[in-house]
Every structure is written in C-alpha cells, then in structure tokens.
C-alpha cells in the first residue's frame, strides 16, 4: 500500500482508508467489551466521507439481511478528516486532489461515486457530519442508520457539502428524525459522544476504516479490516457462532426496498446473488414501469421508491 499522510487516499486493494502511521489492529490489543442481547456484537468504525466504507455497503447490507437476527450492529465514528492542515503529503495537497481518487474508487468498487464535491464545495472536515450522526443516535438507532446512509448519498453521489446544516437537515428529514432536536443535540450532548467514539477507536487500535470487530459472549473476536469479499464476513460469523444459518434473502426488489429505501446496483447484485449487469437491468426495468425512481450519475445510479 502506498504510504501517504492523507487518510482520504484510500487503498482500493486493501479497501482501507487508513490514518497515517498505523496498521491493522492487533487482536491482543483489543480491550474487552460486553456483547449485547444478540449472540454477536459487531462494532463498525466508519466515517461519513470514507470512500472504502461506501464500497463496503453491499457486503454489510447482505450480512445484516442474512445474519441480522444474530448481530447487534453498533456504529461508531472514526474521525477520518479532522481538518486539511497536516494532510497534505502523498500527492494529496488540496481537496481537489481527492476528486479523481473518488472516481477511481467508484470504478473499483462498482458503486456510484463522484469527486465533484471536492472541486465545487469541499468539506473542511468530516467531524460535523460525524457529530450529527451521534445526535441522530440519541433519537433512534435505526433512523440514525438511515440518516448516515442519506449523508453518504448526498456527499458521494450528489456532491453536497454535508458539513452544512441544510444538507444535514435534509438527511434528517429523509430519515424521519426530529430536525430541531437533532440541532439541539448537535450542539449539546453529541460532541462528547463523538469524542467517546474516538477514544474507543484508539483504545481498540483502530486506525483505518472500515473496521469491523465481531465478538461473542465468550469474549472471542474476529476482525474484518477494510472492504473485503463477503466471505470474510460470513467466516467471522461462523467462527463466533458455529452453525449459524443465514436467513433467506428477501424475494425480489420489493423485498429489498421494504428493508432499505435506497439501493445501488452492486448492493442488489450482492444481496440477490446475481451479476451487477443483471441487477442494473432489473432496477432499470422497474424504473421504466414507474415502480422506482433513480438518481443517475456518470458512475452509476441510486434507486428509490417514488
């Protein structure tokens, strides 16, 4: 992997957006934590502008479709970009340098990504949307996940600056959150919760995103570091919960859109076990019938119900 001081320069082969100078978290360095009500606890360390995390969405969605009844998913913010100062080596000297990199990551992961935001209205930091996510979690854990997804769509596929409150409020409204309460919590309890996430990530040796730490009641752990093939995730589950049986996938597009409001072609392909081209044809056919609407970009689309 190319050595770079810019954590936004994510390595496509490893699938990691890595904070400089740190490596894969050693299992021995991981501190103990108590699993929740489900057999497996999954700590997911991410960031709203992490391109590799966007690339991991298909595998994570399939994991939760198949094993969600056994997994307590706990999402934590990692603090990928505190500010631009200090992140100007490795060929990344300004926000505009990220634009072509995101385009390359889009092709690698087969997920729609545009680098335009870094040219038109670059984000000075990923901390504000991260704090907004912690504020959303105070209201509703499930709605917070929808909120995070919408933040990613806004910045990655719609080139919106998600440090601005207009974009945050739009994502909150889409997720069914109380926008006024979100604003209050953003300026109240959420910053401390975000700092707690950063402390937790450091204590567990997490310095790259995405990082997935699986654990069971016996204290056994499995770590999936980076955007990996789906088999890495199922292997982690089976190691901690031998004999775990995957749930039957939702039937067709109707079943998938009943679970999540938006889907990309690669996500549908992985969830249904078909090719990317087949998934795209299905989505476009449904769009043609008026069953779905889509945001089409030069690098792929995002489909939703009308």
Query: What CA–CA distances, in Å, run from 50 to 65, 134, 287?
Result: 22, 17, 29
What integer pLDDT is reported at residue 38 of this predicted model? Answer: 96
Over its length of 306 residues, how does the chain's per-residue pLDDT go in tens digits? Answer: 333 445 666 777 767 787 655 554 444 444 445 545 899 999 999 999 999 999 999 999 999 999 999 999 999 999 999 998 876 545 667 899 899 999 999 999 999 999 999 999 999 999 999 999 999 999 999 999 999 999 999 999 999 999 999 999 999 999 999 999 999 999 999 999 999 999 999 999 998 999 999 999 999 999 999 999 999 999 999 999 999 999 998 889 999 999 999 999 999 999 999 999 999 999 999 999 999 999 999 999 999 999
Examine residue 170 and say whether the peptide bond preceding it is cis (omega within 30 degrees of 0). no
What integer pLDDT is reported at residue 87 of this predicted model? Answer: 63
User: β-strand 211-216 against 293-297: which pairing, if any?
Assistant: unpaired
* Cβ atoms within 10 Å, residue 285: 12
Which structural domains are found in the chain, ordered by start?
Answer: 17-209 (3.40.30.10), 252-304 (1.10.10.10)
Rounded distance between C-alpha atoms, residue 122 and residue 261, angstroms? 27
Token duo for residue 289? 């019938």
Contact present, 161 and 128 (Cβ < 8 Å):
no
Rounded distance between C-alpha atoms, residue 123 and residue 161, angstroms? 6
What integer pLDDT is reported at residue 13 of this predicted model? Answer: 73
């Amino acid at each position: 992997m190319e050595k770079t001081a810019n954590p936004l320069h994510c390595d496509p082969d490893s699938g990691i957006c890595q904070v400089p100078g740190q490596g894969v978290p050693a299992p021995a360095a991981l501190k103990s934590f108590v699993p929740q009500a489900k057999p497996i606890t999954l700590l997911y360390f991410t960031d709203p502008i992490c391109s590799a995390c966007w690339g991991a969405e298909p595998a994570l969605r399939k994991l939760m479709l198949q094993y969600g009844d056994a997994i307590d998913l706990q999402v934590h913010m990692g603090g990928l970009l505190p500010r631009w100062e200090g992140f100007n080596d490795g060929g990344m000297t300004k926000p505009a340098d990220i634009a072509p990199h995101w385009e390359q990551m889009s092709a690698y992961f087969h997920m729609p990504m545009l680098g335009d935001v870094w040219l038109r209205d670059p984000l000075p930091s990923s901390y504000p949307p991260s704090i907004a996510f912690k504020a959303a979690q105070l209201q509703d854990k499930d709605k917070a996940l929808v909120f995070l997804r919408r933040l990613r769509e806004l910045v990655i596929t719609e080139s919106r600056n998600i440090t601005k409150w207009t974009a945050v409020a739009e994502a909150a409204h889409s997720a069914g959150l109380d926008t006024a309460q979100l604003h209050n919590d953003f300026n109240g309890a959420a910053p401390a919760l975000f700092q707690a996430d950063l402390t937790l990530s450091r204590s567990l040796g997490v310095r790259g995103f995405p990082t997935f730490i699986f654990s069971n009641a016996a204290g056994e752990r499995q770590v999936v570091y980076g955007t990996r093939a789906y088999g890495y995730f199922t292997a982690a589950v089976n190691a901690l919960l031998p004999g775990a049986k995957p749930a039957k996938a939702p039937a067709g597009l109707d079943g998938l859109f009943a679970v999540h409001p938006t889907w990309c072609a690669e996500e549908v392909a992985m969830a249904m076990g078909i090719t990317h081209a087949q998934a795209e044809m299905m989505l476009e056919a449904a769009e043609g019938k008026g069953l779905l609407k889509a945001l089409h970009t030069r690098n792929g689309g995002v489909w939703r119900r009308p």
